[in-house]
C-alpha cells in the first residue's frame, strides 16, 4: 500500500510518499516562517496563498524523488482539519482532484490523528497506549484504543503547550517558533534563579493550564533591569520555564497513566507526539517518568514531531488498513476534535 500525504493546516506545506512497510519513500517540507515573521504570527491569508503557490511543485518533487507514478498510489490523503480554513481547502481540493483524476481513493485526515499515530510510523507501538499530544494548538492526554478510537482524558483549560513556548519566546525577544528558541537558550542555564508556578500540579485529573505560567514569565521579565534583557537572564528564564513545563507535564501524565489503568488495564506504552515532543529536555523528563512507572516511552523522530506530510500519509495507510476512506463530499473542518465524545458527532468516515 502506498499513500501520498498532504499537510497544509498551518504554516508548513508538507508532502510525503509512504508505504505500508513504514518506508518514507520521499518527503518535502516547506516552512513559511520567513513569510509570516514580519507580522509576528501566522497570517491565514498569507499561509493559504503560500500553500497554493508551492503545493503542486512539492508534490511533483516528491513523486520524482520517489520514482513513483500516480498509478502506483493506493490513495491520496490530506489534512482536512483542524487548522486554518484556507490551507485546509488548498490541501483537500488538491488531494480530491488528484484522487479523482487518477481513480484513487481520497482520505480526509484529522491532523491530530496524524500526530496520534506518528509514533507507529517509526516503531512497533501496539494499541492501546496513552498519548500525550503537545503541539502549537493542542495539549491533551488521550487513550488511543485503535485507529479512529480516541478517548480524551484531559486537555488544556487555556493555552496549548507550544503556544506557551511561543508566547514565552516572544516576551523574551526570541524568534518564532518559540519552542526550539527557548530550548536552545535554556541549554546549560540555571532553572532555579527565577521561581515560576507549576499550574495544576497536584490536582486530581490530568488537565493542563499554562496562562498563569506565561503571566509569571511576563512579571519576571518586567522585574529585570530596563532595556533589552541580557542573554544570561533570557537563558535562566527559559530554563526555569522549561523546567516548570516539565514538572507539570510529568505530574499530569502520571495521573493520566492511573486513569488509563482504571479503564484499559496496565499501560505498556506512553507516546509523546506533536511539535513540543521534539524538545529533548521534556523527552528526558518523560523518559524518567516512564521508567519510574515501568512503561515504555515512544516518541517519533524529531522531524515527525513537528508538522510533516509523512504522518498524514501514514494515518491514511492506517485508516485504509481498517477499511476507512472518505468521499469527495468530505469537507474541511477548521475545528475537529479527535474524540467523538467531545465533538458530539461520529467521525466522518465511510466504509470504502
Ligand atoms: O505540531 P506542530 O508542528 O504544529 C501544530 O500542530 O501546532 O507544533 C508546533 C509547536 C510550536 O508551538 C513550536 O514552538 C513547538 O511546537 N515546538 C517546540 C519545539 N519544537 C517545536 N516546543 C518546545 N521545544 C521544541 N524543541
Ligand atoms: Zn501539528
Instruction: Tell me the pLDDT tens digit for each residue of 136-154.
Output: 999 999 999 999 999 999 9
How much is the pLDDT for 39? 85
Taking the centre of ligand 2 as the mean of its atom positions, its distance from the CA of residue 276, in whole angstroms, is 10
Taking the centre of ligand 1 as the mean of its atom positions, its distance from the CA of residue 102, in whole angstroms, is 35
Residues with CB under 5 A from ligand 2 (ion): 135, 307
Q: Which triple of cell numbers denotes residue 245? A: 513545563
- Kindly give the pairing relationship between strand 75-81 and strand 105-110: parallel
| φ, ψ (nearest 5 deg) of residue 301 | -55, 155
Please give the biggest Cα pair distance in the chain: 65
How much is the pLDDT for 293? 98
Asked whether the predicted pLDDT for residue 176 surpasses 90, the reply is: no
Residues 178-197, mean pLDDT to the nearest whole number = 98
Sign of CA dihedral 159, 275, 200, 256: positive
How much is the pLDDT for 346? 42
Of the pLDDT bands very low, low, confident and very high (cuts 50, 70, 90), residue 347 is: very low
Identify the CATH assignment for 127-299 out of 3.30.930.10, 3.30.420.40, 3.40.50.1400, 3.40.50.360: 3.30.420.40
Q: Which residues fall within 8 angstroms of residue 88, CB to CB, at 6 or more apart? A: 8, 9, 79, 80, 81, 332, 333, 334
The response to whether residue 253 sits with its C-beta less than 6 Å from ligand 1 reads no
Q: Which triple of cell numbers denotes residue 71? A: 498509478
Residues 58-72, mean pLDDT to the nearest whole number = 98
Give dist(CA 129, CA 264) in Å, integer: 9
Residues 170-195, mean pLDDT to the nearest whole number = 96
Q: What would be the CATH architecture of the domain defined by 2-118+304-343? A: 2-Layer Sandwich (3.30)
Q: What is the pTM of this model?
A: 0.95
Asked whether the predicted pLDDT for residue 2 surpasses 90, the reply is: yes
Give dist(CA 15, CA 26) in Å, integer: 8
Of the pLDDT bands very low, low, confident and very high (cuts 50, 70, 90), residue 258 is: very high
Domain positions in the chain are 2-118+304-343, 127-299
Which ligand has an atom closest to residue 174 CA?
1
Domains 2-118+304-343 and 127-299 agree in fold: yes
Asked whether the predicted pLDDT for residue 40 surpasses 80, the reply is: no
Amino acid at each position: 500500500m502506498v499513500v501520498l500525504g498532504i499537510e497544509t493546516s498551518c504554516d508548513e506545506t508538507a508532502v510525503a510518499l509512504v508505504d505500508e512497510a513504514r518506508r518514507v519513500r520521499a518527503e518535502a517540507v516547506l516552512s513559511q516562517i520567513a513569510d509570516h515573521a514580519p507580522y509576528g504570527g501566522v497570517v491565514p491569508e498569507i499561509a493559504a496563498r503560500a500553500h497554493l503557490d508551492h503545493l503542486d511543485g512539492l508534490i511533483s518533487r516528491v513523486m520524482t524523488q520517489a520514482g513513483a507514478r500516480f498509478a502506483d498510489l493506493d490513495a491520496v490523503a490530506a489534512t482536512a482539519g483542524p487548522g486554518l480554513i484556507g490551507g485546509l481547502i488548498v490541501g483537500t481540493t488538491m488531494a480530491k482532484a488528484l484522487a479523482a483524476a487518477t481513480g484513487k481513493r481520497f482520505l480526509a485526515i484529522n491532523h491530530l490523528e496524524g500526530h496520534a499515530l506518528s509514533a507507529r510510523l517509526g516503531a512497533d507501538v501496539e494499541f492501546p497506549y496513552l498519548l500525550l499530544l503537545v503541539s502549537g494548538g493542542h495539549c491533551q492526554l488521550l487513550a488511543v484504543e485503535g485507529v479512529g478510537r480516541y478517548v480524551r482524558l484531559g486537555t488544556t483549560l487555556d493555552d496549548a503547550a507550544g503556544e506557551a513556548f511561543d508566547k514565552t519566546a516572544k516576551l523574551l525577544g526570541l524568534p518564532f517558533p518559540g519552542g526550539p528558541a527557548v530550548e536552545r537558550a535554556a541549554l546549560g542555564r540555571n532553572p532555579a534563579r527565577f521561581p515560576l508556578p507549576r499550574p495544576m500540579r497536584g490536582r486530581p485529573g490530568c488537565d493542563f493550564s499554562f496562562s498563569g505560567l506565561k503571566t509569571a514569565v511576563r512579571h519576571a521579565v518586567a522585574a529585570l533591569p530596563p532595556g533589552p534583557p541580557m542573554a544570561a537572564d533570557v537563558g535562566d528564564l527559559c530554563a526555569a520555564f522549561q523546567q516548570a513545563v516539565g514538572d507539570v507535564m510529568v505530574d499530569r501524565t502520571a495521573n493520566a497513566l492511573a486513569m488509563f489503568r482504571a479503564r484499559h488495564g496496565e499501560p505498556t506504552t506512553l507516546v509523546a507526539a506533536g511539535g513540543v515532543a521534539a524538545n529533548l529536555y521534556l523527552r528526558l523528563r518523560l523518559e524518567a517518568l516512564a521508567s519510574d512507572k515501568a512503561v515504555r516511552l515512544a516518541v517519533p523522530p524529531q522531524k515527525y514531531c513537528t508538522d510533516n506530510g509523512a504522518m498524514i500519509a501514514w494515518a491514511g495507510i492506517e485508516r485504509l488498513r481498517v477499511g476507512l476512506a472518505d468521499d469527495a463530499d468530505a469537507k474541511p473542518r477548521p475545528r475537529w476534535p479527535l474524540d467523538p465524545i467531545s465533538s458530539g458527532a461520529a467521525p466522518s468516515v465511510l466504509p470504502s
